[in-house]
Amino acid sequence: MKNTIFTGAGIAIVTPMNQDGSINFDELGRMIDYQIESGTDAIIICGTTGEASTMSDEEHLECIRFAVERTAKRVPVIAGTGSNDTAYAVKLSKEAEELGADGLLVVTPYYNKTTQRGLVAHFTAIADAVNIPIILYNIPGRTGVNIDVATVKILGQHKNIVAVKEASGNIGYTAKLIAECGDLVDVYSGNDDMIVPVMSLGGKGVISVLSHVIPKETHMMAKYCLENNFAEATKLQIEYLDLINSLFIEVNPIPVKEALNLMGKNAGPCRMPLYPMSDENREKLRAVLAKHNLV
């Protein structure tokens, strides 16, 4: 079995923004420190939640550089370097490695999409270009492409392809993935409402949005699973299900940034085309945060 990048709860961290849309690195540093001090097991920078799709090349690389330096090897830093342009994904992945990232999160090509044979070629080209581990990111709801289990089985033969972030929401697919590829790749839940179900099947952890607001509890939920204490893990999964759902009441990361702002953090706005929450949904979110004594 290949080396595991991390076990437990990693955070798909937001990118705090100033009101003019520029990146607030001071707040990002505070968030990274708070997460590590609260037990979070890995920092995932420049993912979907981090709004990487609206970053310039310079911003993307500066965020990775900053996260690596601020984290200072306390926990692994995993950099999002996926693209629907294979050559660009290769370039970005090589640069992230040079900046000191411990691993890469690489999403399936979106919009232009590709075939399963194309996925093999795409991910292999990226994996051949670097010497750090890669997590395949399966999120068909955003990309329109699902990685077949048979495709993961092929890709898992590559020494640098070590894991899958599974965010299809299909527990049957996840079970098949772990059953057929569990000796080749680790599996992380990409959905906070499925941490316990995925880990009960053998998943190694979660790449989480929930960790922004309750990092200690999210860490403990995953830790209980790793200890086979599914009774306690399930209690936490159920207790915070309403909070999880409220963080996805609109398109991620709109609600989690709003939640952080309501909690007194300085996450700032999202970049267009992501748009501020409706007043109605903001009040629903505030009510759930209040119920859990977070505001």
Torsion from C-alpha of 140, 146, 149, 154, nearest 10 degrees: -120
Q: How far apart are CA 66 and CA 33, in angstroms?
A: 12
110 is catalytic: no
DSSP for 130-198 reads: -SS-EEEEE-HHHHS----HHHHHHHTTSTTEEEEEE-S--HHHHHHHHHHHTTT-EEEES-GGGHHHH
Considering the candidates 137, 188, 224, 240, report the single residue annotated as catalytic. Answer: 137
223 is catalytic: no
Q: How far apart are CA 153 and CA 292, in angstroms?
A: 42
Q: How far apart are CA 34 and CA 277, in angstroms?
A: 25
Q: How far apart are CA 67 and CA 71, in angstroms?
A: 6
Neighbouring-strand partners of residue 78 = 44, 103
Pairing, β 161-166 against β 205-208: unpaired
Q: How far apart are CA 107 and CA 256, in angstroms?
A: 21
Find, among 213, 281, 270, the residue nearest to 50 by Cα: 270
Considering the candidates 113, 165, 188, 216, report the single residue annotated as catalytic. Answer: 165
Catalytic residue positions, numbered = 137, 165
